[in-house]
């Protein structure tokens, strides 16, 4: 793990206008770290969080997906962020940066926050959007591969700008 680059997580550096002092707000703000090696997946708490994230994925399950995620983290193009609040790993985001012309803009493939943690969701969203913008992109796509509504995804990323549906994912069962 490494801290997200300075200026890439607004939530960790900007405090709300009201409430506790700046000092206590910073101490309680979620921390965002970038996962930079596949070995991080071996940490029991992080492994368990990935397992929770994949519980809502209709296409893949943990631990079967673990070797592929490890390979993706080791290859260029995949970026993952971990949110830590109260000393616990509570959120994950994975995105794929463009590596070919078939999808020439970044793609958020997974976004998960354990529980209703508004500050964590905001910090994780900021980390993703700031990383994409800091890489020179002005657009990205998000693949809703969860059981959450598209409305929930639009709400999670509303601070990034307006969203529009540009396609959809359909699953077909052969012979059914």
pLDDT per position as a tens digit, 98-136? 988 888 999 998 999 998 889 999 999 999 999 999 999
- Eight-state DSSP code of residue 33: E
83 compared with 101, residue with greater pLDDT: 83
Is the Cβ–Cβ distance between 11 and 32 less than 8 Å? yes
Predicted pLDDT of residue 7: 42
144 compared with 53, residue with greater pLDDT: 53
Is the Cβ–Cβ distance between 34 and 3 less than 8 Å? yes
* 22-31, 83-92, 98-107, 158-167 — most confident range: 83-92
Is the Cβ–Cβ distance between 114 and 52 less than 8 Å? yes
Predicted pLDDT of residue 18: 36
Question: C-alpha dihedral over 17, 86, 3, 43, to 10 degrees?
Answer: -160
What burial class does residue 47 get, using C-beta atoms within 10 Å of its C-beta: 0-12 exposed, 13-18 middle, 19+ buried?
middle
Q: Which of 100, 102, 66, 98 is closest to 79 using CA atoms?
A: 98
4 pLDDT tier (thresholds 50, 70, 90): low
11 pLDDT tier (thresholds 50, 70, 90): very low
| Tokens found for residue 160 | 């990034």
User: For the whole model, what pTM was predicted?
Assistant: 0.79
Tally of helices (H runs) and strands (E runs) in the chain: 6, 6
């Amino acid at each position: 793990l490494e801290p997200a680059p300075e200026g890439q997580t607004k939530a960790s550096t900007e405090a709300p206008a009201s409430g506790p002092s700046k000092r206590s707000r910073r101490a309680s703000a979620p921390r965002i770290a970038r996962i930079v090696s596949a070995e991080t997946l071996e940490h029991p708490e992080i492994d368990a969080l990935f397992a929770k994230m994949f519980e809502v994925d209709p296409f893949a399950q943990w631990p079967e997906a673990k070797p592929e995620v490890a390979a993706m983290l080791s290859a260029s193009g995949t970026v993952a962020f971990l949110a830590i609040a109260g000393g616990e790993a509570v959120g994950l985001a994975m995105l794929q940066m463009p590596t070919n012309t078939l999808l020439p803009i970044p793609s958020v493939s997974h976004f998960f926050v354990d529980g209703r943690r508004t500050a964590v969701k905001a910090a994780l969203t900021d980390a993703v959007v700031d990383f994409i913008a800091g890489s020179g992109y002005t657009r990205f796509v998000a693949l809703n591969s969860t059981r959450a509504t598209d409305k929930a995804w639009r709400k999670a990323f509303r601070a990034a700008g307006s969203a529009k549906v540009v396609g959809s994912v359909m699953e077909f069962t052969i012979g059914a």
